[in-house]
Structure 1
Amino acid sequence: MTARTAPVELPLQAVTPGRAFGIYIHVPFCATRCGYCDFNTYTPAELSGANPDGWLEALRVELALAAARLDSPPSVDTVFVGGGTPSLLGAAGLTAVLDAVRTHFTLAADAEVTTESNPESTSPDMFAGLRAAGFTRVSLGMQSAAPHVLAALDRVHSPGRALAAAREARAAGFDHVNLDLIYGTPGETDDDLLRSVDVVLEAGVDHVSGYALVVEDGTALARRVRRGEIAMPDNDVLAQRYELLDTRLRAAGLDWYEVSNWSRPGGECRHNIGYWNGGQWWGAGPGAHGYVGATRWWNVKHPSTYAHLLSDGSLPVADFEELDQVAAHTEEVMLRVRMRDGLPLALLSGAERRRAEAVIADGLVTRDADRLILTDRGRLLADAVVRTLLD
């Protein structure tokens, strides 16, 4: 879809009753750009005069406009500050972000409030400040404990810093701490991954996210692959690494609750569960995506354009789409089948239930009462399961 010239009038509907409602806030700043990353982020040299203070002022305006546009804004179940590198804002900056949300929205008494962080831009004092401000969860980008793997990914933190940061967060009172891993990086071995998992377990966190390396077009990693400097990740190796990761984590008491996420009981990320289970959310910040009613929209990407539109009193929307029943159904099947809770059979048409028999026969899913649940092998082929059910 070709983006229209902003500002764009957003035809929002009321939030669908009975569904979780969250707020996602995108912090577009990074100290350096990792070679594999295609997120909407900017280093200081790329900002053209934009800065965190101007971004925060614009964010306050967007949140005010958001609350005004929603018909009876619902209580906020989850807040997720992502990026980029939110921890570059420090405890004071992230506290100001959460204060801006509270100014215009009511947080539920048990709201989950998460921020992503780069281990290198955290400290014990920062975690203490976040906890005092009301943050309840921290997600740390670890990726690997192997120095040569971090170097291949252009990560700047030292191998031991993620472990130290996780311990500091727990010491500050965070019960919920996540460490992210990436597996399948060229040059990584099975032992590299297993050592990384051992570091995660040593940190005592209650949640782990594990993602296969994807070579995204336009990234430095993609250019290195194109030049023949490194090889594309091998699908068979990725599957093997996933199985190693899963086996080691489950043996230590962290079970999968979504294909790429493991937790101890009660450690699941409620904000992400909202995405997967059809929740609604307002996405604020440059490039952020939101979804309310049947409307999905995405903001303009550059922080300067974002701030300029808001200074004129316009929502910074680049474009939007209205999901019809077919598109909404496709997404619901695609997302809910990835969950440990499984895909309710009641969501499927008669034809889709008949096609489900094929993936059951292939050993990719099992039927548990009124739900379809991926088998261990099915988790490796979740996309194929979705295609079979919907085609």
Structure 2
Amino acid sequence: MAMNISAWSIRHPLPSVVFSIILLLLGWVSFTKLAITRLPSADIPVISVAVAQFGAAPAELEAQVTKTIEDGVSGVEGVRHISSSITDGLSVTTVQFALETNTDRALNDIKDAVTRVRANLPQNVNEPLIQRVDVIGLPIVTYAAISPGKTPEQLSWFVDDVVKRALQGVRGVAQVERIGGVEREILVSLDPDRLQAAGLTAVDVSRRLRGTNVDLAGGRAEIGKNDQAIRTLAGAKTLNELAGTMISLPSGGEVRLEDLGTVTDTIADRRTFARLNGEPVVALGIKRSKGASDVVVAEAVQKRIDTLKEAYPDVDLKLIDTSVDFTKGNYDAAMATLFEGATLAVIVVFLFLRDFRATVIAAISLPLSIFPAFWVMDLLGFSLNLVSFLAITLSTGILVDDAIVEIENIVRHMRMG
């Protein structure tokens, strides 16, 4: 005989009540933990392969490196699209997989494919750098740093050295992007006549600077029965030290860098600009990490901003844009719809059935039907976002309709005996 779950539950109410309470509690706890975001977190399987070859022209890289890498990874299972970008000395190949592909498996497959074609690459290329591309969305909040008493250079250094470092330590912050301001640049202007007289080229000087002006790990040594890390510090600490770098000549001698041209501490060409009320400012866009809540991250960032304002009163950090208000609005609207639908269902049951018992059953059964869904969402890694809010709103209407029909049908059969 087939088991009738409804009849068994009526005859044994205690297990059903306990099970319902457990589901309700699990759903409530999960509901309080669910991240509130604007859009769902997307794990898009994209892998990049970067190969550097110092001094190589784009045409040379395309023929010897890029084509070899593309041919090697094109046979990997699940590859949907391959694109490459080439600049002087660097080739970057981006491999996009089908959405259902596991990113970790795709990364391992690409590593294996590159290993197989590694012997076909030029011997003087650097080891290919293979990594997954984390797709980070738009900034959730944007601040502007304003300080009339600071120059654009000083304000940019302050944002980079103080504000960005402070915000990057906030839990849930994936990236702090500076918009506007200036970038420091050490410009080496070589004199063609001096280069020709010394028998050098600009590539020779660049290669020499890259090879000497660098700090490297030098291994380990036992000092006083303790292992100590050894580093070779060859990077120039001052502008004069860099200008005094010795450049080897083909004839066997050496010449100072400053004798081949001029070394200037300047700023790079501006590529981004930020203005607020017509005045130039330095803006900061904060992006959340995957799985973090927009609301929680924005509140934590604001607390850190308030701390910075107290520590540095001469710099005004002003909130100029936020998507969190829109996200909060969606959340409030979805919760209001859920509450209104449940309330109307209870009222309709009471008005039309005139049965207090049926009304109580409707008031209890609706949250018992809704909250376990939040537990499942938490287990599956979902968040409360625009898509899930839409699903909650639609399911609320269906749930209310079904609840009214079912309760009315039960009461009718009970009255019929």
TM-score (norm 2): 0.21
Task: Give 1 or 2: higher helix fraction.
Answer: 2
Which protein is bigger by CA-based radius of gyration?
Answer: 2
TM-score (norm 1): 0.23
Higher RCO (C-alpha 8 Å, min separation 6) = 2
